[in-house]
Amino acid sequence: MSAMPIALGELDLDEVLRYMGTPPGQAGPELRALVEECGRAVCAAARPRWAWRAFDIAEEADGVRLSCGLLLPGQDLKRHLRGCGRAAVFCATLSAQVDALIRRWESGDMLRALALDCSAAAAVEQMCDQIELELQGHFPGCSFPFRYSPGYGDLPLELQNPLLDLLDAPRRVGLCASASHILTPRKSVTAILGAADGPIQPTVRSCLGCPARESCQYRKSGGHCGIS
């Protein structure tokens, strides 16, 4: 389906600092200035692109089946989508230009590279938040759990390629996955957003609460799945 253009706004500097492992209240003026500069650089380099499709969904023993036939395996996602009769599947990327910007500084200024990387993570989050609001408008009167991505809970990273194929993502937005199922460009996300006709139990999104936290390939590679 057609996707409305996404424009990035000013990034939340406190969020970037938290991604860097620095409590916002302990960040000095020099670090805050660097983070602000890097946030502007990421937003200037980014070329946000995204794509999505909507499907009816049904529970099965091994997970959730999309009406197109694709099985989303895992008990965690099945519990998460309980009460939902439909779901939007989407992908989003900041573009290869952001990856190139980060790489440019990795060999010479690791602190700046880290600030750029974490600014890009915050930018992806901002982009996905905007996408959620856009998608919710296509399901009037519905309730929504938080978006759910491969790599979170027991939803396997191996699902990346089928989701990208489903969305024709390589052609539409230039988004692919590596042999180890990491998205390229790296500052990208695939996700499932459920839609329920009635009220649902509120859920909280958090890396700390994820059953796959200790084995998460995103965390090991310095990234994240787009949940938190």
pLDDT in tens, 144-197: 999 999 998 899 999 999 999 999 999 999 999 999 999 999 999 999 999 999
Domain boundaries, the chain: 13-220
Phi, psi dihedrals of residue 193, rounded to the nearest 5°: -120, 110
Spatial distance between the Cα atoms of 110 and 103, rounded to a whole number of angstroms: 10
Each residue's pLDDT tens digit, 67-120: 999 999 999 999 999 999 999 999 999 999 999 999 999 988 999 999 999 999
Both tokens assigned to 126: 């901002």
Identify whether the C-beta of residue 61 lies closer than 8 Å to the C-beta of residue 75.
no
Fold of 13-220: NADH Oxidase (3.40.109)
CA pair distance 216, 164, nearest whole angstrom: 20
Strands (E), the chain: 49-60, 63-66, 71-73, 86-93, 176-177, 183-184, 188-195
Average pLDDT in the 221-228 region? 46
Query: What does the H/E/C string look like for 153-188?
Result: CCCCHHHHHHHHHHHCHHHHCCCEECCCCCEECCCE
Name the pTM for this structure: 0.87
